[in-house]
Structure 1
Amino acid sequence: MSKKKKIKVIISDLDGTLLNSDHTISAYTKSVFQELHRQDYLIIVATGRHHMDAMAIISSLELPIYLVTSNGARIHSPQKELLYAFNLEADAVKSMLSLDIDPEITTVIFKENVWQTSKTNKKLNAFQKDLAYPPEVVDFAELDDYSAIKIFFTHDDHQKLVELKNRILENNSDVFHHAFSLPICLEFMDKSVDKSVAIAKILEKEGYSFAEAISFGDGFNDEKMLDAAGIGLIMGNAPENLKNKLPHLEVISNNVEDGVAKYLSTHILNSKVKC
């Protein structure tokens, strides 16, 4: 049996993958995923976004989906029930934020019901079309509660983020897991947190294996889930460094061209859904 005929599970990242340039799901992508649901494929969306933000986006698909958010720190069932949660240690967060961080870098903390930021960032806010989950601007030096799901930093200069990453990991490599979801976004989670780990929990619960899954992604936070899947596919718009790191994986068209939906329609649904 070919790998494609073994596929029973569809796994996709959101930004730069399932979402178009407007950070929304196109009508064509919706129709493809609804057909996948009708044919009993298990669907998992795995994203670095906060669960409140991601739920608002995937609700437009109008079908039951397992949701992995904050790069694996949260898992929600298709009924929106919280199945798994893992937070960063507050002392570790406080230690990270006590570093002398360039004020040009936007710092963000994900909490359960709010995201706190060092300043308003219009480019970051643009990722939420309706801003249903707005930020709270705070002074991190004056916080009373440093508990967090995830921390991330964003800046247009990738090298500045690389330098910050090295400084943070110098004394905390055994505490934090990090990833660049985009070249302009550096994210830190607990060492045990990764999309692939969370997805494995869902697959075990549903009686499937990674060998029966096809996955799509465009960022370094997708690397392990792409490599673990029976079929891992890299978006054409992904960074060249990711493509070079996973040279054995196929590169497909980009998110602006509905690359995920077109691949699924052609290779999994055998062109049953038309653009």
Structure 2
Amino acid sequence: MIENTVTLVATDLDGTLLNNKKEVSEINKKAIRDLKQNGIFFGIASGRPVETILKTIEDWGMSKDIGFVMGMNGGAIYDYRLQSKEEYYLLDGEIVIEIMDFFKGYDVKFWILIGDDRYVNVSTEQTRAHARLYKENEIECDLYEFVKNRKINKLILNFDPDYQKVVEQRAREYKNDKCTGFFTAQNLFEFVDPHINKGFGIEKLCEHFGTSKEHVVSFGDDLNDCEMLMASGCGVAMKNARNRLKKVADYVSEYTNEENAIAHFIYDYILKEDQNV
């Protein structure tokens, strides 16, 4: 299954590393520590901003175990060792305004993430609770004024999950070769620069750490993980992953995120150690 020596492991968070309580299990933590002891870089690959991921990792007590963070679906890379962040291919504010105009009259809310601040056009108790869960500060403002003369990582559309097909159809009708869009959850759709995806992030990580994609293992569960799994030497989909992701994965785990799928794979196929997972 794994044909090359593994030097780098990247994982999505929600539905992958995290259980349904948004926690990292003790056995997953141990597996990550064991990777580090064997000289293998481990890091997070998420759509969240780097800044909020760093806060979350600190709360987990895992700052010493993680080598990097890929944030914004590949749009930003943070190196723990150097304590430095790089960002790539930001989205121009004029395009953001155009997209918001295109979705006028539709039942969607717009979010823009800058660091650990979430700027929104409509703030509700539900969205504020969601922001707190992800360690973001929600700020309601005029987004049209906010994005003037500004470049951002991405524009997020938030909506009721039952409205997903409506958003998908409208997004297909929007034509602009300077941006692309994709679902990151059943209630979230994101527009980014066409270069940006987690597969691009894997390429940048390999450049940064001096390795190649053949030596990378990645884990995911949702559609925004497709490019990452395809770009890796071994892409692993959770048992609970979307069917479209399973089709592009090199391996589909027999375990879900609730069943410590990552720890199972690390011990069975990377470290090849017997553990009571």
- With the shorter chain as reference, the TM-score category is 0.7 to 0.9
User: Are the counterparts in 1 of residues 8 and 215 from structure 2 also a CA contact under 8 Å?
Assistant: yes
Counterparts of 1:220 and 1:121 in 2: how far apart (Å)?
27
Partner of 2:171: 165
Counterparts of 2:200 and 2:111 in 1: how far apart (Å)?
24
Matched, 1:255 2:228: no
Q: CA RMSD in A?
A: 2.4
1:74 maps to which of 76, 85, 89:
76
The percent of aligned pairs where both chains have the same amino acid is 22
1:133 maps to which of 130, 136, 140:
136
Q: Which runs of 5+ in 2 are unaligned?
A: none
Q: CA deviation at 1:125?
A: 5.5
Q: CA deviation at 1:51?
A: 1.2
Amino acid corresponding to residue 266 of structure 1 in structure 2 = D
Matched, 1:230 2:233: yes
Matched, 1:90 2:89: no
Counterparts of 2:219 and 2:15 in 1: how far apart (Å)?
10
Q: How does 1:108-187 map to 2 (within 5 A)?
A: 108-120=111-123, 131-143=134-146, 145=148, 146-155=150-159, 156-157=161-162, 158-167=164-173, 170-172=174-176, 174-187=177-190
User: Are the counterparts in 1 of residues 111 and 119 from structure 2 also a CA contact under 8 Å?
Assistant: yes
Partner of 1:48: 47
Counterparts of 1:65 and 1:144 in 2: how far apart (Å)?
33
User: Are the counterparts in 2 of residues 46 and 68 from structure 1 also a CA contact under 8 Å?
Assistant: yes
CA displacement, residues 206-261 of structure 1 (integer Å, 9 cap, x when unaligned): 221111111101122111110121111111222223324x2x63211211222112
CA displacement, residues 162-189 of structure 1 (integer Å, 9 cap, x when unaligned): 023123xx331x1112222223221111
Of 115-124 and 59-68, deviating more is 115-124
User: Are the counterparts in 1 of residues 42 and 68 from structure 2 also a CA contact under 8 Å?
Assistant: yes
Counterparts of 2:20 and 2:125 in 1: how far apart (Å)?
16
Counterparts of 2:127 and 2:259 in 1: how far apart (Å)?
22
Q: CA deviation at 1:43?
A: 1.4
Matched, 1:190 2:196: no
Secondary structure at the aligned position of 1:153 is classed as strand
Q: 1:144 to 1:212 in 2, by over 3 A?
A: closer
Amino acid corresponding to residue 206 of structure 2 in structure 1 = L
CA displacement, residues 71-122 of structure 1 (integer Å, 9 cap, x when unaligned): 1111111133113343211111111112243553232112245211233366
Counterparts of 1:273 and 1:76 in 2: how far apart (Å)?
31
Amino acid corresponding to residue 151 of structure 2 in structure 1 = S
Counterparts of 1:140 and 1:51 in 2: how far apart (Å)?
22
Counterparts of 2:127 and 2:29 in 1: how far apart (Å)?
25
Matched, 1:209 2:208: no
User: Are the counterparts in 2 of residues 214 and 232 from structure 1 also a CA contact under 8 Å?
Assistant: yes
Counterparts of 1:144 and 1:49 in 2: how far apart (Å)?
19
User: Are the counterparts in 1 of residues 8 and 216 from structure 2 also a CA contact under 8 Å?
Assistant: yes
Counterparts of 1:212 and 1:151 in 2: how far apart (Å)?
32
Amino acid corresponding to residue 65 of structure 1 in structure 2 = G
TM-score relative to the length of structure 1:
0.87
Partner of 2:13: 14
TM-score relative to the length of structure 2:
0.87
Counterparts of 2:142 and 2:252 in 1: how far apart (Å)?
42
Q: Which runs of 5+ in 1 are unaligned?
A: none
Q: CA deviation at 1:3?
A: 2.1
